[in-house]
Amino acid sequence: MADLKICKAPDSLTTLGLGSCVGVALYDSSTKVCGLVHVMLPYSTQIRNNSNIAKFADTGIVECLRLMVAAGANRNRITAKIAGGATMFTLSSNNDTMRVGERNAAACKEVLKKENIRLLAEDTGLNYGRTVVLDGNTGNYLIKAVGKPDKVI
């Protein structure tokens, strides 16, 4: 959580139990360099204490792209898939708190668009947690959820 990692095939990247957080999978199919950002909050500019760049959609995605390019990825060929951003609980009050999943997913999409990264697929929203695995060999993004069949996007 609030972390980012990169790797190269044949390795894979995974993050367990995404709730309202969003797992942004970045992949360059030519060099098979992968990146995964576990986004916790939308924008670093909205938060005073924002030194942890992996925590936010804007800074996390940009940093992950930078690391991938440094590891040999071709910036123009990197594509994205996103998953997570669920609304785990529905409370009558604290609406802003409860909708953070939606806002995370929206922010990730905005940042990807701004960075000219094509979003190939997404599995976001709804009300359940997800475990995700980004396969370094294929760029497949496996999504596992409780009581649901595995899904690959």
Backbone angles phi, psi at 142, to 5 degrees: -90, 130
Distance CA(4)–CA(33), nearest Å, equals: 14
Binding mask 12-41 for other proteins (x = CB under 8 A): ----xxxxxx------------------xx
Query: Would you call 108 a catalytic residue per the annotation?
Result: no
Please give the size of the binding site for other proteins, defined by CB under 8 A: 33
φ/ψ region of 110 (left if φ > 0, alpha if ψ in -120 to 50, else beta) reads alpha
Question: What residues are paired with 118 via a beta bridge?
Answer: 79
Rg (CA), the chain: 15
**For residues 10 and 147, which CB has a smaller minimum distance to other proteins in the complex?**
147
Query: For residue 11, how many other CB atoms are within 10 A of its CB?
Result: 14
Stretch of residues binding other proteins (CB under 8 A), selected from 45-53, 73-81, 111-119, 135-143 = 45-53
149 binds other proteins (CB under 8 A): no
**For residues 6 and 33, which CB has a smaller minimum distance to other proteins in the complex?**
6
Binding mask 109-128 for other proteins (x = CB under 8 A): ------------------xx
Of 24, 33, 32, the residue nearest 4 (C-alpha): 24
Which spans of this chain sit near other proteins (rule: CB under 8 A)?
A: 1-3, 16-21, 40-41, 47-49, 52, 55, 86, 88-94, 97, 100, 127-131, 146-147
